[in-house]
Amino acid sequence: MAATITASAVRTCFGDGPATWDALLRGDCGAAPMRRVDPRRVGVSHGYPIADDRPFGPGRWLADCVTEALAAAGVDPLRRRVVSLVGTGLRESAEVERAALAGRVDFPAERLHFGPAVTGAAPGVDRVVTLANACSAGGHALALAQDLVETGEADAVLVGGTDGSTASMLAMIGRVAARPTERIRPFDADRTGVLLGDGAVVLVVEADRPGAGLARLLGTGLSCDAGHETAPDRDGILRAVHDAHRRAGRRPEQVDLVLAHGTGTALNDETEARVLAEVFAGCAPGPLVTALKGAVGHTSGGSALLSVAVAIEALRTGQVPPVVGLSRLASEAAGLRLVRDRAVAAAPRVAQVDAFGFGGLNAVTLLEAS
């Protein structure tokens, strides 16, 4: 039995959900010079920041999305059993860094796990559980949400994902990159590395309601291969893809669209491209493939859910946004039907969302148009 995604709320460098979708269809790039962190300290000059006049904070973006998603779904946590699952990679580490610089050591531990952010925006939520599963955290949260509603443990689940740029994570990126990059170029032969993007996403998952909601959540395949700290493992990714197809009851030839992880790094792009070519071999003409990080950056714990939110819009509207930053195709991606240069009109029914995290934490989700 499938579950239904009944609402979606998004915050990225472009703004809210509609603003982000419009920017993606135009092929805009949200990369901008670093402002909150001194580039000389971290070795990174650019990112994909959320720019507004309020204080920085993933918890605040998450709370805004919780309020918007609950209103859109018509779900009242005071009247129904609502659980919240939040996927993240960095949690509120940026706030901890600021507190430390200000000489404060009393940062409340519960704020790290976004409990106050969620319950402040949604009084009556039964409990808030945080999953710090790196870049696939949102996908893992979505898998658990489907279990909760299908087993009757919750009437609805707020599935969130959020992260913001931290000095510590930026410094790591600055040390591992061969040279500074100004933008992400997924599947491009001239890619120069990954950059972080600010963002938050909240989806509302409820029990299956045919004909209602934004999309049916068919299933999420998971794997944890632990093969390397950062390098993706082909076999582990394949296990997650096959697990997703099995859980969803779909064959590769039934997948019309893939939202790739597409980090613009040599190890990820090459491995993911080869896996997709293997999975969809013989599926003429094969699914359309797009990726978001060239437009919005790597939103870490929110990246899987952001791809799900965009996949939902593609299923609903028949429009597929292009891969931003793709100019000269990498050889390993030559066999993929990558959407390039401009959005294309299509009629996808089933979409696959890839999310691969450090340590081999993989989550692959299948959605179907409602």
Question: What is the percent of the chain with per-residue pLDDT over 70, rounded to a whole number?
Answer: 95
Whether residue 232 contacts residue 265, with contact meaning beta carbons closer than 8 Å, is answered with no
CA contacts within 13 A on the Cβ side of 317: 16
Q: Which of 113, 135, 140, 245 is catalytic?
A: 135
pLDDT at 100: 67
pTM for the predicted model, two decimal places: 0.95
pLDDT tens track for 202-257? 999 999 876 779 999 999 999 988 777 777 889 999 999 999 999 999 999 999 99
| pLDDT above 80 for 176 | no
Structure tokens that stand for 64 in this block: 């805004």
| pLDDT above 70 for 1 | no
For 289, phi then psi, to 5°, come to -130, 130
pLDDT at 55: 62
Return the CA Rg of the chain.
19
Q: Is 228 a catalytic residue?
A: no
Contacts of 181 (CB under 8 A, 6+ apart): 46, 192, 193, 194, 195
Alpha-carbon gap, residue 314 to 215, rounded angstroms: 11
> Which band of pLDDT confidence, cut at 50, 70 and 90, is reported for residue 32?
very high
Q: Is 298 a catalytic residue?
A: yes
pLDDT at 208: 81
pLDDT at 81: 96
Residue 164 or 365, more confident: 365
pLDDT tens track for 147-159? 999 999 999 999 9
Q: Is 245 a catalytic residue?
A: no
pLDDT at 227: 76
For 203, phi then psi, to 5°, come to -115, 150
Q: Which of 46, 140, 245, 298 is catalytic?
A: 298
pLDDT tens track for 103-152? 766 767 777 788 989 999 999 998 999 998 888 999 999 999 999 999 99
Mean local confidence (pLDDT), 347-354: 97
| pLDDT above 80 for 358 | no
